[in-house]
Amino acid sequence: MKRKSLSVKKRTLNFYLTKLKDPQLKKLYEVFSKNLASLELSNKKIMIGVSGGSDSLSVLFFSQCYALEHKVKLYPVIIDHKLRNESTDEAKNLKQKLKKNFKINCKILSKNIIKIDKNIQSYARNLRYDLFLNECNKNDINHLLLGHHKDDLIENFFIRFLRGSGLKGLVSFDKKVSNYNGIKIIRPFLSISKKELNNINKKTFGFFVNDPTNNNDKFLRSRVRKLIKNLNKEGLNFNKFYLTLKNLSKSDEVIEFFVKKNVFENSKYFQKEKKTILKKSFFNNPEEIVLRSFSQVIQHIGKQRHYPRGKKVVRHIDSLKSSKKNAKLTLSGCIIEKINDSVIIYPEKR
């Protein structure tokens, strides 16, 4: 290795080691490091989602520390949604700043622009995860680190509550590690506030990119954020909120236990034909158990990213249970046939 390269590497190492002398940073890094060590990284590769906010930059800083200590290869990526005229320049500026000042090479991921008139944030979220997933698959990466924090946890709860989500939807964000199409998504800062992450950011990289959509009342998340600020003034306490969320999560775990039991005992999957047969007893369970079990089977057979819409699933289940004749329905890329007392589910021809 050239002397200049060794010098740059040494300066980079000194930058992170010096920063970690700060008691607050050292304490948080120990928690961060312990969480990652428990994942048993099989191929020593981690992708980092870098938005430029103080949350994602905090994840990037601690990931750099972890990579230097454990010889892990990092893949920092910046998503350019191309939904605002300025987004491409912002992504390029962020990439340039991280490379010039901190010797961090980020890759910008984007997709051809399409016109979006509604559900913009939902589209942006789906686009992000699609781009993350494709890039992970290209590079044989099984772990993706994101900067979600406890403020996001509260916001997502209220957003889903306002949209009428069931128990599963309300608690689905309350996991530091979740699975997305075979990729493990790690959210190491779900117990850390945005304010704390801002403080970390000031002590480390010393800059962040402000997303102008954060204060745009056009978006539900921005309106919910303001609602939460008002609720904080009325005494909303995160510890009490988190306790409630944990209690709801325990109830959800009980339901999931019986969902797995129902699918295991009352359905059979045939690999060669790519079909599942449901026994009559599959539907002899409480409504929520049947709803989730049926949705799970549909998602598996139809190879869908998300569960099918709840209302549609309920209508189909009601039709299957009430019909005394053979019936044929379609849902989420699946054909559902009722033949006598059994239900056969198989993929639609594509």
- Per the structure, the complete domain to which residue 11 belongs is given by 3-236
**Quick one: 79 and 124 in the same domain?**
yes
Residue 54 lies in a domain: yes
Q: What is the CATH number of the domain that holds 86?
A: 3.40.50.620
Contact between 199 and 188 under an 8 Å Cβ cutoff? The reply is no
Provide mean pLDDT across the span 187-215: 88
Residue 153 lies in a domain: yes
Residue 44 lies in a domain: yes
**Quick one: 146 and 253 in the same domain?**
no
**Quick one: 172 and 104 in the same domain?**
yes
**pLDDT given at position 255:** 95
pTM beyond 0.85, yes or no: no
d(CA 296, CA 301): 9
**Quick one: 260 and 294 in the same domain?**
yes
**Quick one: 153 and 88 in the same domain?**
yes
- Per-residue DSSP letters for 251-310? HHHHHHHHHHHHHHHHEEEETTTTEEEE-GGGGSS-HHHHHHHHHHHHHHHHT-SSPPPH
d(CA 128, CA 130): 6
**Quick one: 50 and 75 in the same domain?**
yes
**Quick one: 314 and 186 in the same domain?**
no
**pLDDT given at position 318:** 92
Lowest mean pLDDT among 75-84, 88-97, 165-174, 293-302: 165-174
**Quick one: 178 and 319 in the same domain?**
no
Helical residues (DSSP H) of the chain, grouped into ranges: 3-19, 23-37, 54-70, 87-102, 120-138, 150-162, 167-171, 194-203, 220-233, 238-266, 287-302, 310-322
- Domain boundary among the residues 236, 256, 273 is at 236
For 262-291, the pLDDT digits (tens) are: 999 999 999 999 999 999 999 999 999 999
Residues 6+ apart with CB under 8 A from 133: 180, 181, 183
Residue 12 lies in a domain: yes
**Quick one: 251 and 196 in the same domain?**
no
Give the position of tokens 């189909």.
316
If one compares 181 and 107, the residue with the highest pLDDT of the two is 107
**Quick one: 154 and 256 in the same domain?**
no
**Quick one: 108 and 189 in the same domain?**
yes
**Quick one: 215 and 257 in the same domain?**
no
How confident is residue 143, by pLDDT bands cut at 50, 70 and 90? very high
- Domain boundary among the residues 201, 218, 236 is at 236
Domain total of the chain: 2
- Domain boundary among the residues 236, 263, 286 is at 236
Q: Does the pLDDT at position 7 exceed 70? A: no
Q: 3-class DSSP state for residue 52?
A: coil
Q: 3-class DSSP state for residue 176?
A: coil
Residue 241 lies in a domain: no
Q: Does the pLDDT at position 238 exceed 90? A: no
